[in-house]
Structure 1
Amino acid sequence: MRLKLVPDNTSWDFFRFDAITLGLSGIAVIASIILFFVVGLNFGIDFRGGTTIRTNAHSAVDVGAYREALQTLDLGDISITEVYDPTFAADQHVTMVNVQAQDGQESVTQETIDSIETALQEVDPTITFPSVESVGPTVSGELVQTAIIAVSLAIGAVLIYIWLRFEWQFSLGAVLALVHDVTLTIGIFSLLQIRFDLSIIAALLTIVGYSLNDTVVVFDRVRENLRKFKRMALKEVLNLSINETLSRTLMTSVTTLIALIALFILGGDVIRGFVFAMIWGVLVGTYSSVFVASSFLLRFGVKRDWSKPEGGAGTQFAKTDA
């Protein structure tokens, strides 16, 4: 007996409520942009500059006592966050102490770090410091620029790749779906104020690749069916293609989510932000491949040039390997 997430020979109409789905997607994108500019992201030490000290103590954490001990050092903005994780032992109490970059200094000095550790040890002698990360303001600014360039180049490369492999209408549909996925991911991080660091940039690039893979599978079937059913309306061709690839799409997403959820629960707090971004990206990426990319393609239309042999229909690059 085989597991089937989708019944055989499905004929669901994915464009019955396409105006509603596109409208909701548009509202979500606008809301994400507003959240980004109004609320902002909770940038990690990679982008803000400063020092993050991870502490580990046997006794319960008293955030107020920690803060009071550090106020005498006059270090400016300090945030102390207690970390909860089901994998921690009963006597394992972890916090993240974030100290802003000091004015006039390229990075937080070792003397400052030593003074922070000494002050915290006076509060709790059992406290240890498993890791210390420092990033100067100049480096953090360069990282912001590099991150923006990396995501922009990835989406630009996708635009060119799909254009060469299919047609410009396919290319715009795929890129709009990717922009949708990346924007919604940034929006959810702004809404929940989850720490946004370099690992999240890696997750965004991975989401771009994952969503593109799903979209290309659907578009490839669309191109095949356009050749096969030359007189069928584009809407019907798109519906048929999505239904034919739906089992593969859902199976890939579900198996990926199983692994990601296991990592989210058991992987520890260090990678939890990255895993959350991946889970969210798989969900919105699957949604956009089915509803967003195809809906835009339906609106752009597809030029059917049947003067060419069937093997080369579409574009001169129709046989380009993936």
Structure 2
Amino acid sequence: MLPDSKVINFMGWRKTAAAFSLVLLLVSIGSLAVKGLNLGLDFTGGSQIELGFDQPADLGTIRSALAEEGLENPVAVYFGSESEVLIRTQSALQDGAIERIERALAGISEQAGIVEITKAETAQVGIAENIRLEGVTVEQLQEANVFDQKYFGNTEFSSDNGAVTVAIENTLDNVYAETLMATLAEATGSSVELRRSEFVGPQVGGELRDEGGLGMLFALAVVMIYVAIRFQYKFSVGAVAALIHDVIIVLGFFSLMGLDFDLTVLAAVLAVIGYSLNDTIVVFDRVRENFRKMRRGSTHEIINSSLTQTLERTLITSLTTLLVLVVLFLFGGELINGFATALIVGIVVGTYSSIYVASNILAAMHLTKEDLMPPEREGEEQEELAP
């Protein structure tokens, strides 16, 4: 056993640490219940467009232009370089085209509006979609150039029963991508090229959200089973309690700060589970070893000695990892800021929980040397007594 002067009395602060953890958990759970998570495009569904500019793009100008487009929560970030911009929105691209058409119709008549949008039939060669309108005439549409051929391609107008049907060559998704590029080119004074455009449906986003949550629960269940087999059930409860503590606080931090929660952040949360578990297992292994080696000392004294012996390793590992993550956060670009942020918060909280939450649970459950003694095999006593 280490000399008393060299052993840090971690367990002397266990009640303060427990109160601190409880406050963090209550704040996190309260924020998750009231505000929820600001789910990203991966989970909500929506669209993203990757654009290339012929000169470094000004994100401030681009964001100002997007704010006037009527899209839902548009986000613009650099993608690879300052001349590559990724635009994300939680609405379909065609919603932006519909918004533009409706604004143009409002300028013609207050009664004008879109009744229905349908995909073209197979027999309609060169036509992608049909748009049915009411409260407006073909002449008014042509005069106002609502369906500019530059964006909509070839158009065919027909009217029946007071309604007008416009058959357009390009899909509304493509129409909006082209008009958005023209708007951004005008706002930034540079040429814009479409590199990639894709849509994530809400059903796919829902599946990703559900499967991600199930994956996290499965990871916690496997951890609990492994630690129970590898150590003892009290260690299992302590390890899983620490992991749940870490996950809730990381999620609560993202909820409280209003940060986007997407698949990269979910991956970071799962990485935090692995990192925190690794740290906790190192501490638990030393606790088990000291319980078997030390003949004297209370549960709190043995846990204090174990935590003191592993403290240097814990801090060095955490600090070196944090150094890399801080650099990644500062210079890695906006696309991975959420990932780096989740890991930074998770490692700080995970280091704390491996010292105070996991070990605190062991002390609260009154871990004893008898808990760690190997079970006697049947007939062992009779073999020892036999001549």
Normalised by the size of structure 1, how large is the TM-score?
0.82
Work out whether 1:142 is the aligned partner of 2:202: no
Aligned-partner residue type, residue 121 of structure 1:
M
Work out whether 1:276 is the aligned partner of 2:368: no
Aligned mates of 1:93, 1:288 — CA distance in 2: 41
Aligned mates of 1:259, 1:99 — CA distance in 2: 32
Query: What whole-Å deviation, never above 9, does each CA across 1:103-144 have from its counterpart, x for those lacking one?
Result: 999xxx993432222122222322344443421111111111
Shift of 1:192: 1.5
Aligned mates of 1:245, 1:45 — CA distance in 2: 41
Work out whether 1:222 is the aligned partner of 2:287: yes
More displaced 10-residue stretch of structure 1: 220-229 or 22-31: 22-31
Shift of 1:66: 2.9
Q: Is the 8 A contact 1:166 1:315 kept in 2?
A: no
Aligned residues: 291
More displaced 10-residue stretch of structure 1: 10-19 or 28-37: 10-19
Aligned mates of 1:160, 1:291 — CA distance in 2: 22
Q: Is the 8 A contact 2:40 2:261 kept in 1?
A: yes
- Aligned CA distance change for structure 1 residues 200 and 63 (closer, same or farther; 3 Å): closer
- Aligned CA distance change for structure 1 residues 203 and 277 (closer, same or farther; 3 Å): same
Note the 1:88-103 alignment, pairs <5 A.
Answer: 89=82, 92=83, 94=85, 96-101=87-92
Q: Is the 8 A contact 2:48 2:86 kept in 1?
A: no
Q: Is the 8 A contact 1:49 1:139 kept in 2?
A: yes
More displaced 10-residue stretch of structure 1: 195-204 or 242-251: 195-204
- Aligned CA distance change for structure 1 residues 280 and 112 (closer, same or farther; 3 Å): farther
Shift of 1:80: 2.3
Q: Identify which of structures 1 and 2 has the higher relative contact order when contacts are C-alpha pairs closer than 8 Å and 6+ apart.
A: 1
Q: Is the 8 A contact 1:45 1:134 kept in 2?
A: no
Work out whether 1:287 is the aligned partner of 2:352: yes
Note the 1:236-251 alignment, pairs <5 A.
Answer: 236-251=301-316
Shift of 1:56: 5.0
- Aligned CA distance change for structure 1 residues 315 and 120 (closer, same or farther; 3 Å): farther
Q: Which runs of 5+ in 1 are unaligned?
A: 1-8, 72-76, 307-311, 317-322
CA RMSD of aligned residues (A): 2.7
Aligned-partner residue type, residue 72 of structure 2:
I
Query: What whole-Å deviation, never above 9, does each CA across 1:159-216 have from its counterpart, x for those lacking one?
Result: 1111111111111111100000000010111111221111111111111110000000
Aligned-partner residue type, residue 221 of structure 2:
G
Work out whether 1:78 is the aligned partner of 2:72: yes
Q: Is the 8 A contact 1:66 1:123 kept in 2?
A: no
Note the 1:90-129 alignment, pairs <5 A.
Answer: 92=83, 94=85, 96-101=87-92, 111-125=171-185, 126-129=191-194
Shift of 1:286: 0.4
Q: Is the 8 A contact 1:78 1:97 kept in 2?
A: no
User: What secondary structure sits across from 1:97 in the alignment?
Assistant: strand
Identical amino acids, percent of aligned pairs: 38
Q: Which residue does 1:20 correspond to in 2?
A: 16
- Aligned CA distance change for structure 1 residues 314 and 174 (closer, same or farther; 3 Å): farther
Shift of 1:313: 2.8
- Aligned CA distance change for structure 1 residues 201 and 56 (closer, same or farther; 3 Å): same
- Aligned CA distance change for structure 1 residues 84 and 143 (closer, same or farther; 3 Å): closer
- Aligned CA distance change for structure 1 residues 315 and 133 (closer, same or farther; 3 Å): farther
Note the 1:190-201 alignment, pairs <5 A.
Answer: 190-201=255-266
Aligned mates of 1:219, 1:158 — CA distance in 2: 14
**Higher share of residues assigned strand:** 2
Aligned-partner residue type, residue 155 of structure 1:
L
From 29, 32, 38, the counterpart of 2:28: 32
Aligned-partner residue type, residue 122 of structure 1:
A
Aligned-partner residue type, residue 96 of structure 1:
I
Aligned-partner residue type, residue 66 of structure 1:
L
Q: Is the 8 A contact 1:159 1:171 kept in 2?
A: yes
Aligned-partner residue type, residue 229 of structure 2:
L
User: What secondary structure sits across from 2:74 in the alignment?
Assistant: strand
Query: What whole-Å deviation, never above 9, does each CA across 1:203-231 have from its counterpart, x for those lacking one?
Result: 11111110000000000000000011133
Query: What whole-Å deviation, never above 9, does each CA across 1:28-85 have from its counterpart, x for those lacking one?
Result: 11111111121111111111011122445445324343333x34xxxxx522234379
Aligned mates of 1:24, 1:129 — CA distance in 2: 50
From 51, 75, 87, the counterpart of 2:47: 51
